[in-house]
Chains A and B, each alone.
Chain A
Amino acid sequence: MTTTLYDKIWDAHRIDIEGGESLLYIDLHLLHEIATPQAFAGLRAAGRPVHRPDRTLAVADHNVPTEGQARGSSRIADPEARLQIETLEANVVEFGVEMFAMGDARAGIVHVIGPEQGRSLPGMTIVCGDSHTSTHGAFGALAHGIGTSEVEHVLATQTLRQRKSRNMLVTFTGALGAGVTAKDMALALIGRIGTAGGTGSVIEYAGEAVRALSMEARMTLCNMTIEAGARAGLVAPDDSTFAYLKGRPSSPNGADWDAAVAYWRTLRTDPGATFDDYVEIDAASIPPMLTWGTSPEDVVAVTGRVPDPAMIADLAKRAGAERALAYMDLAPGQGILGTPIDRVFIGSCTNSRIEDLRAAAEIVRGRHVSLRVGAMVVPGSGLVRAQAEAEGLDRVFIDAGFSWREPGCSMCLGMNPDRLAPGERCASTSNRNFEGRQGRGGRTHLMSPAMAAAAAIAGEIVDAREFG
């Protein structure tokens, strides 16, 4: 029987139980401070241990300040954030779980450090109480976000109670144009199928344009899968995957490496296997994209115009567009180029890896941030930050007027002190442009690192391709 990559990982990890449900065995469980305190409290109340502490790794990322991390969690100014992080630190000690402490070079955004450490490997099942766990699917791992009750369930049983999702194949044919990135592919897809387009499905990404992506770019693409409504995205592992993983701290080595690669090569959709849904996009047709509205599906080409609600027949959609334009303070039908920007955020689990910082630095080098813009770079991990500093990228950003920060989720969701003021407009490399996401009343335009860097220099939305 021909099967898909998702079928293969599902079948290797499933226990059939009553009522047609399955228990899916989880190989790696990542923890952070937001989604876990109530789960550990539940374990404690029921007197249950963590089933596989050796397959569980914790890090604080959502709440952490992006300055002064070496001082430790006890010095965090926000008392609620401090209590939540100290609660995680106490819980991992009590339950025997490994944690990368704040200030440890290995610490950072949970979806950056799993791959960076070689913890996220092909064929695994990976969960975390965070919707962007889909990121790890770039390695051919079945990875998705869960809620706190499910976190407690995985801690106690190492399984999740599930019904199998549908299979969706998204093929990017051809080659991307110059200056077009995985972020643009993701935005193009979400614009095509909508934020509910993938609901109930696991998406496998295929096609020449996907094969040509680096591992970090594949992570960007899989990361944004949740914004298309699908909990998990997958890319079949290949030589790029193996080259990325070789030599990482937790990657297999010696004879284990060869056995692992041999197994990983079997992790691919069989020729002739069928999917429930198919989407095909010509990669060459994708321009640099950004969002204009308050949903990731509100996308526009950088050279395009925002919608005119008067031209939308569906009344609910028209009302939605009117509301989004009003929130974003944009005029119906206006061109998006030249829209003035107040803030620039380069970071988040979507675009905070070394290649993202290099792409942004290439635009920034020798230039200066517009006087009207406050710009910051938040590397995804302590190791990304150190690598960037070794390459001199920190100087490029600092000399240009960017603030160079310590790792964390930061202004992607504004739980720490990094957030937008009401009415501020931000060019952001993050993943969500919801109302208030980056700060109450803040206006977010999602885009690639190169586009955000170009916006920082110009003080307005520009086409990064003209910034050679």
Chain B
Amino acid sequence: MQAFTTVRGIAVPMPVANIDTDQIVPKQFLKTISREGLGAGLFYDSRFDGEGKPIAGFILDRAPYDKATILVAGDNFGCGSSREHAPWALLDFGIRAMISTSFADIFNNNSINNGLLPVVLPEPEVAVLMLAAQAGAEITVDLERCTVTAPPGLVFGFEIDPPVRAKLLAGLDAIDESLMHATEIDAIEGKLARAMPWLPKA
């Protein structure tokens, strides 16, 4: 997983609530056996017509937002399907951090597991950042300080679960970390085998 410290850049505004993962990356891109190249499917149905021709004017294809590294979204971003292709597509496009009033649970975890930072802020602050994004301002998301800054001198602090922050800052492999608890995993496995002896065992 790539580490996340600070990202400064253009933020794309998407002031719509309940943007679901079917919109973020539609079904036809789920047939891949790779994690790579999914940026081509990002918001595909909004960017391309039924024949695959570009639809003029979608915000991600307009300067300066075609170079966006941050996304400011309406409430409940990433709801619906558990497809990890959604954060893969966002990252492949170049998005490294997202700001909203809330993210759907599974999408939130999938994003963190790929070094894509979800930042939750109160509604008035998201509204201000949405305006800054619409004005094409550069926004900075700093995970070390836990701040979002935007011109003219706006600074918003955000909260994030400390272990999640540490994992993102270090870019740690979660499986390596968890396997350090192999002894405890073996112990609970034994305890559960005694509690539910009817479950299958190899």
Spell out A's residues near B (CB within 8 Å): 12-15, 17-21, 23, 25, 27, 34-35, 37-38, 41, 46, 48, 52-55, 62-63, 78, 80-81, 83-84, 87, 121, 123-124, 129-131, 144-150, 152-153, 156-159, 161, 163, 165, 195-196, 199-200, 229-231, 250, 252, 256-257, 259-260, 263, 295, 297, 316-317, 319-320, 323, 413-415, 422, 432, 434-437, 440-441
Do A54 and B79 touch across chains, with their CB atoms under 8 A apart? no
Chain B's nearest CB lies how many Å from the CB of A113? 15
Show 8 residue pairs from A and B whose CB-CB distance is below 8 angstroms, ordered by the A residue.
Answer: A18-B163, A25-B189, A41-B33, A146-B106, A158-B189, A161-B178, A436-B45, A437-B22
A229→B79 contact, CB < 8 A: yes
Give the nearest-CB partner of B127 in chain A.
A316
A-contact 0/1 string along B58-80, CB 8 Å cutoff = 00000000000000001110011
Given A27-B199, A144-B106, A145-B106, 5 new contacts (CB under 8 A)? A15-B185, A21-B161, A34-B83, A149-B174, A435-B22
Query: CB < 8 Å: which of A14, A436, A441 contacts B23?
Result: A436
State whether A23 touches B178 (Cβ < 8 A): yes
Which residue of the partner chain B has the closest CB to A295? B18
A163 contacts across to B, CB distance below 8 A: 161
Q: B167-202, CB under 8 A of A: which get 1 and which 0?
A: 000000011011101001100110010011111111
Query: Is A161 within 8 A of B45, CB to CB?
Result: no
Given A129-B82, A195-B79; A432-B102 close (CB under 8 Å): no
**Cross-chain contact of B81 among A37, A46, A131, A199 (Cβ < 8 A):** A131
Q: Is the CB of B33 within 8 A of A87?
A: yes
Determine if B109 is an interface residue (Cβ-Cβ < 8 Å): yes
Which residues of B are interface residues toward A (Cβ below 8 A)? 15-18, 20, 22-23, 26-28, 30-35, 45, 50, 74-76, 79-84, 87, 102, 104-106, 109-110, 113-114, 161-163, 166, 174-175, 177-179, 181, 184-185, 188-189, 192, 195-202
Residues of B within 8 A of A14 (CB): 188
CA distance in complex: A223, B18 (Å): 19
Do A415 and B31 contact each other (CB < 8 Å), given the known contacts A19-B162, A145-B82, A436-B45?
yes
Known contacts A250-B200, A422-B50, A434-B20: does B105 contact A20 (CB below 8 Å)? no
Decide: B31 and A200 in contact? CB cutoff 8 A. no
- Chain A residues with Cβ under 8 A from B17's Cβ? 316-317, 320
Query: Which chain B positions have C-beta within 8 A of A21?
Result: 161, 163
Whole-angstrom distance between the Cβ of B43 and the nearest chain A Cβ: 11
Q: How far is the CA of A260 from the CA of B200 in the complex (A)?
A: 13
Contact indicator B174/A161 (Cβ below 8 Å): yes
Given known contacts A15-B188, A131-B106, A146-B106, A23 and B27 CB-to-CB distance under 8 angstroms: no
Q: Are A200 and B175 interface neighbours, CB within 8 A? A: no
Q: In the assembled complex, which residues on chain B have CB atoms less than 8 Å from the CB atom of A435?
A: 22-23, 45
Q: Which chain B positions have C-beta within 8 A of A147?
A: 82-84, 87, 106, 109-110, 113
Interchain CB contact (< 8 A) of A81 among B31, B82, B114, B161? B31
Q: Is the CB of A35 within 8 A of B102?
A: no
> Which residues of the partner chain B approach A37 to less than 8 Å between Cβ atoms?
32-34
